[in-house]
Amino acid sequence: MLEIKNLHASAGDREILRGIDLTVNAGEVHAVMGPNGSGKSTLAQVLAGHPAYEVTEGSVTYEGQDLLSLDPEIRAQQGIFLAFQYPVEIPGVSNAYFMRAAYNEIRKARGEEEIDPISFADLMDEKMKLVEMDSDMLSRSVNTGFSGGEKKRNEILQMAVLEPKLAVLDETDSGLDIDALRIVAHGVNSLKRPDNATIVVTHYQRLLNYIVPDYVHVLAGGRIVRSGGKDLALELEAKGYDWLLEEAVA
C-alpha cells in the first residue's frame, strides 16, 4: 500500500528526515516511536503533503502511484488521513458543515453522489456513538475552544466518517484521560479492515495495549534506527531510548 524509500525532507535549510525506509501493507498497524524532535510529525506531515516541507531525496509510492506528486487534497481524496498532533481551529465553521463538505469531496472523488444533509445526520449519529461524543460538538465551530482531549476525539470522529485507506495518527493519545484513551482506541480498532492500514505515532506503550501493532519502529535523528514487533515497545518502555541511540551511533 505504502512504500517509502530513502526519504529526505527539510524545512528551510534544515534537514529533518534523513533517509527513511518503510513499507506498510494493507491490514497492518505500524507504531512509530522516538524521542521528541526526532521527526515523527514531520514524517506524518510529509505523507499528507504539508507545504512547509520539501522532499529533497527519495520516493513515496502509495497504491502504485507517486504520492509526492499529488496535491494534499488529492491525497486525502485517495484515502490518506492524518489525525493531527495539534488539530487546527476554524472559527465560525460548524463541525457538521465542515465534515459534510469533506465527506462529499471524498465521495465525489470516489465517483459517488453527494450526501444530503439528512442522511448525513444519520451517518453522524452512528459515528458519534463510536467515539462517545456529545452531539452538541457538531454544531460547535471546528476545534474552536475544544479541550485537548475533545480535539483528539474529533480527529477520530473525522476518521470514522471519512473511512481512510491509510490513517496516520500523530500522538492521538497525548492529552487523553484513561477513559478517552480506551474510547479512541476502540474507535480506531473498529475501523480496522483487511484493506486499510494505520500508522500510529505515540510516546506511550499504554496505547499499544489497546491498538496492537504488527510492527514498531523507532525514529531518531530523522532515521528509523530500529524496527521490531510489539515487544520492542515494551522494551523501550523499560529501557528508554538511550541504548538505541548509542547503538545507532556505534
Partner 1 sequence: MSSSIETLVNREYAYGFVTEVDADTLPPGLSEAVIRLISAKKDEPEWLLEWRLKAYRRWLTMKEPHWPNVTYGPIDYQSQSYYSAPRSVTPLQSLDDVDPELLKTYEKLGIPLNEQKFLSGVAVDAIFDSVSVGTTMKEELKAHGIIFCSLGEAVREHPELVQKYLGSVVPHSDNFFAALNAAVFSDGSFVYVPKGVRCPMELSTYFRINSEGTGQFERTLIVADEGSYVSYLEGCTAPKRSTNQLHAAVVELIALKDATIKYSTVQNWYAGDKQGLGGVYNFVTKRGKCLGANSKISWTQVETGSAITWKYPSVILQGDNSTGEFYSVAVVNNHQQADTGTKMIHIGRNTKSNIVSKGISAGHGQNSYRGQVKVMPKATGARNYTQCDSMLVGNQCGAHTFPYIEVGNNSAQVEHEASTSKIGEDQIFYLKQRGLSAEQAVSMIVSGFCKEVFKELPMEFALEAQQLLGITLEGSVG
Ligand X SMILES: Nc1ncnc2c1ncn2[C@@H]1O[C@H](COP(=O)(O)OP(=O)(O)OP(=O)(O)O)[C@@H](O)[C@H]1O
Rounded Cα gap, residues 41 and 214, in angstroms: 20
Give yes or no for residue 158 binding partner 1 (CB under 8 A): yes
Alpha carbon dihedral 161, 167, 173, 175, in 10-degree steps, equals -70
Rounded Cα gap, residues 96 and 140, in angstroms: 8
User: Which one of ligand X, partner 1, Mg ion, none is in contact with 217 (Cβ closer than 5 to 8 A by kind)?
Assistant: none
Give yes or no for residue 187 binding ligand X (CB under 6 A): no
Which of 6, 25, 37, 52 binds partner 1 (CB under 8 A)? It is: 52
Cβ at position 173, least distance to ligand X in Å: 12
Which of 54, 90, 189, 239 binds partner 1 (CB under 8 A)? It is: 90
Rounded Cα gap, residues 65 and 60, in angstroms: 8
Rounded Cα gap, residues 163 and 79, in angstroms: 8
# of chain residues touching partner 1 (CB under 8 A): 31
The smaller minimum CB distance to Mg ion, of residues 196 and 202, is found at 202
Give yes or no for residue 14 binding ligand X (CB under 6 A): yes
Give yes or no for residue 41 binding ligand X (CB under 6 A): yes
Give yes or no for residue 10 binding ligand X (CB under 6 A): no
Which of 18, 27, 98, 248 binds partner 1 (CB under 8 A)? It is: 98
Q: Are 198 and 167 in contact (CB under 8 A)?
A: yes
String of DSSP letters for 191-202: T--TT-EEEEE-
Give yes or no for residue 36 binding ligand X (CB under 6 A): yes
Stretch that binds partner 1, among 8-16, 84-92, 192-200, 225-233 (CB under 8 A): 84-92
Give yes or no for residue 53 binding partner 1 (CB under 8 A): no
Give yes or no for residue 215 binding partner 1 (CB under 8 A): no
Q: In 14-140, which ranges are E strands?
A: 14-24, 29-33, 54-62, 65-66, 80-83, 90-94
What percent helix, strand, coil does the chain show, rounded to 5?
A: 40, 30, 30
User: Which one of Mg ion, ligand X, partner 1, none is in contact with 84 (Cβ closer than 5 to 8 A by kind)?
Assistant: partner 1
Q: Are 204 and 173 in contact (CB under 8 A)?
A: yes
Angle between helices 117-130 and 95-109 (to 10 degrees): 100
Give yes or no for residue 40 binding ligand X (CB under 6 A): yes
Q: Contact residues for partner 1 (CB under 8 A)?
A: 48-52, 71-73, 75-77, 81-82, 84, 87-93, 98, 101-102, 105-106, 109, 141-142, 158, 162
